[in-house]
Amino acid sequence: MIKKKLNNVIKISVLLLILIFIAACTPSVNKVDPHKYYTLSFSNSDNRVIKPIYDFVKIDLPHISTKHMTKSIVYSEKPFQKNSYSQSQWKEPLPIMLQEWLVQSINNMNLFKGVIRVESRANVPMMLETDIVKFEHIIYKDEVNISLRVILIQYKKREIIKQKLFNYRVKVKQATAESAVLSFNEAIKQFNNDLFFWLEKNE
């Protein structure tokens, strides 16, 4: 009787070990994909070799509502319903990324004697501020929507030299974060050209 019980225990133990081994080797259907991180691309292909027409300028950290000061890539499946991709994010919070992009872009234009980040204590006469009005993937329209208000300020006097609202809508091929980022960068490329020609008009 004892021998029979012992054999049953051994059989059960072997069966459990086999089941554990199979479970360990079987891919989990609930496995979470790793996060993917994206950034705004910048191309140095459009160097502007001209004589500067402005003095030194500081590039302020772009303004955005506090709730969007995150790394989230925002999308809308329905009007007035905003969400963010769970497994895809910007590499840095959007304002920080855009500030870095603006520093590179405006420095590359050669329209200013020098370009400085706002964090610097250097005393310069001009400031460029940016309001991020919209920066989202509108899934139900198959497009990204970017709206940026740029303000060039005489820093010491706090007088506005010029300002403009730039709007862009670029089609998105697929309802994915990766496709949205490609379209965001296409819109930013357009913004780069428009910003140059707008600043070049020293009115």
3-state secondary structure 176-198: CHHHHHHHHHHHHHHHHHHHHHH
CA–CA dist 18, 109 (Å, integer): 67
Nearest to 102 by CA among 47, 158, 40: 40
Structure tokens at 142: 């198959």
Instruction: Using the CB atoms, write b or e for 22-48: b if 16+ within 10 Å.
Output: eeeeeeeeeeeeeeeebebebeeeeee
Structure tokens at 52: 């500067």
CA–CA dist 70, 54 (Å, integer): 33
pLDDT at residue number 203: 61
pLDDT at residue number 20: 43
Predicted TM-score (pTM) of the model is 0.78
Structure tokens at 20: 């554990």
pLDDT at residue number 174: 93
Angle subtended by helix axes 177-200 and 94-109, to nearest 10: 40
**Helix spans in the chain (H):** 2-25, 94-109, 177-200
DSSP structure class, residue 1: -
Whole-number Cα distances in Å, 149 to 5, 72, 94, 112, 166:
80, 21, 15, 20, 6
* Per-block mean pLDDT, blocks of 10 residues, the chain (203 long): 48 46 41 74 63 93 80 91 91 94 93 90 92 95 97 89 97 95 96 94 71
- Our CA dihedral for 116, 117, 119, 125, rounded to 10 degrees, sits at 50
Residues 6+ apart with CB under 8 A from 191: 146, 148, 166, 168
Q: Mind listing the domains of the chain with CATH numbers? A: 37-200 (3.40.50.10610)
pLDDT in tens, 158-173: 899 999 999 999 999 9
**Helix/strand/coil for 108:** helix
